[in-house]
Amino acid sequence: MASKKLRVGVIGVGGIAVACHLPYWQELENEGRVELVGVCDLIKSRVAVGQERFGARKGYTDYKKMLREDQYDIIDICTHNRWHCPMTVDALKAGAHVLVEKPMAMNAKESQAMIQAAHKSRKKLMVAQHMRFEAPHEKLKDVVERGTLGQIYTASAVWLRRRGIPGWGKFHIRKESLGGPLIDIGVHMMDLCMWLMGFPKPKAVMGKVYRMFGDRKDLVNGSWGEPYPPKEFDVEDYAIALVRCENDITMRVEASWAANIPEERNEVSILGDKAGLSTNPLGVYGYEKNALTSTRFDWLPTLEGHRGEIRHFTECIEKNLPVRVKPEESLQIQKIIDAIYESSRKNKEILIK
Ligand SMILES: NC(=O)c1ccc[n+]([C@@H]2O[C@H](COP(=O)([O-])OP(=O)(O)OC[C@H]3O[C@@H](n4cnc5c(N)ncnc54)[C@H](O)[C@@H]3O)[C@@H](O)[C@H]2O)c1
């Protein structure tokens, strides 16, 4: 247990902060490990939620003012993606460790600037890839590290929604968010898949993104939350890609907010010459003495990953430990994302440096 309470500030008090960040900061505050000093949002009623429901001492609509007025140990950034880089750099410069929501930034150049700022300030930076903190996925990581799969040669990172275009926030606007399902839900699967494989270096990408539904007026039950004006929708609603990595490893990526499929599908699978794994159905699939084997981990609790992520980040600061989601790994994911969009625009394979 740390002797000093860590002083926490949260920027952006929207959907993810209220559902999955602030409750866990509050839990740590109740344990005496942190103090929720400030919250910030452009919308005053949301600042009030941060103060009244979660007990933040101070509320702001200007994050720079918030960073000026108090010294923070942790800044947790839960705003739209276009703010991730500038807010991270400012918070690091102000001497705080930074937890920032996914995707890391709007492009690899911004991600690099964030990493540089972290090195310069000697503070920790972690992207909130909460799926790495879910017990079933931790179990699969252990399986891979024991060498159970043998030689890994290919993998698949898929999250397909039949209908589910976010109708809140600014998910559908490119200049605010960068992209659609690829950077919203695909990024979780890519990160999980690459982490489980031990992050083989990506070398090249062939990708294509499509906008088939999001800007249509006739889309029935298409969006979640408030309906947005269809003409504002300028991101993709389906993405597909093949990523070639070192050691001849390939990763297939597929993500949709809307697609004419029978039902939602969400799966990372990895194939090796001794066994394969899948997150759904969760288990390891191999063979032994001329028989096929299936080892299932259905008994594992599906704990909220954000809880584990926030507790992990806090512990890393209390004990000066390395963070699980290394920013250099998130940069690799960002490079893949950039290359998928570039490949789609140029209709050709893009090499990753
Ligand atoms: N890890 C996950 O599972 C997960 C799930 C949903 C969203 N997210 C990520 O969380 C982030 C926010 O998503 P959301 O669904 O909460 O969106 P949201 O629109 O509900 O919330 C974003 C909040 O940020 C505030 N904001 C925007 N610009 C600001 C600024 N300059 N200063 C202060 N506040 C500002 C907005 O007013 C809003 O309240 C996104 O990056 C998204 O990708 C992650």
Instruction: Please indicate, yes or no, whether residues 192 and 245 belong to a single structural domain of this protein.
Output: yes
- Which protein residue has the closest C-alpha to ligand 1 atom 38? 14
183 Cα to the center of ligand 1, angstroms: 14
Q: What is the CATH number of the domain that holds 82?
A: 3.40.50.720
Residue 312 falls inside a structural domain: no
Q: Is 25 in the pocket of ligand 1 (CB under 6 A)?
A: no
Residues 282 and 214 in one domain: yes
For residue 111, tell me if it sits in a domain. yes
| 99-103, 105-109, 139-143, 213-217: segment of lowest average pLDDT | 213-217
What residue's CA is closest to ligand 1, atom 40? 80
In a domain, 319, yes or no: no
pLDDT of residue 251: 98
pLDDT: which is higher, 273 or 169:
273
Range of the domain at 125: 6-129
The pLDDT tens digits for 223-266 are: 777 788 889 999 999 999 999 999 999 999 999 999 999 999 99
Give pTM, 2 decimals: 0.97
Q: Is residue 311 part of a domain?
A: no
Q: How many CB atoms lie within 10 A of CB 115?
A: 18
Q: Is residue 169 lining ligand 1, measured as CB closer than 6 Å?
A: yes
> Quick check: is 314 in a domain?
no
One domain for residues 163 and 301: yes
pLDDT tens column, 273-293: 999 999 999 999 999 999 999
Q: Which residue, of 129, 158, 183, is where some domain finishes?
A: 129
Q: Is residue 169 part of a domain?
A: yes
Does the beta carbon of 15 sit less than 6 angstroms from any atom of ligand 1?
yes
- Per the structure, the count of domains in the chain is 2
Residue 222: which pLDDT band, with cuts at 50, 70 and 90? Answer: low
pLDDT band, very low/low/confident/very high, at 304 (cuts 50, 70, 90): confident
Residues 170 and 118 in one domain: no
Q: Are residues 226 and 294 in the same domain?
A: yes
CB of 80 closer than 6 angstroms to any ligand 1 atom = yes
Within a domain: 329: no
- Backbone torsions φ then ψ of 261, nearest 5 degrees: -125, 160
Could you tell me the CATH number of the domain that includes residue 300?
3.30.360.10
117/201 same-domain check: no
Residues 144 and 37 in one domain: no
98 and 142 together in one domain = no
Percent of the chain predicted with pLDDT > 70: 97
**Residue at which a domain ends, from 69, 96, 129:** 129
Ligand 1 atom closest to Cα of residue 87: 31
| Residues 96 and 157 occupy one common structural domain | no
Asked if 338 and 217 sit in the same domain, the reply is yes
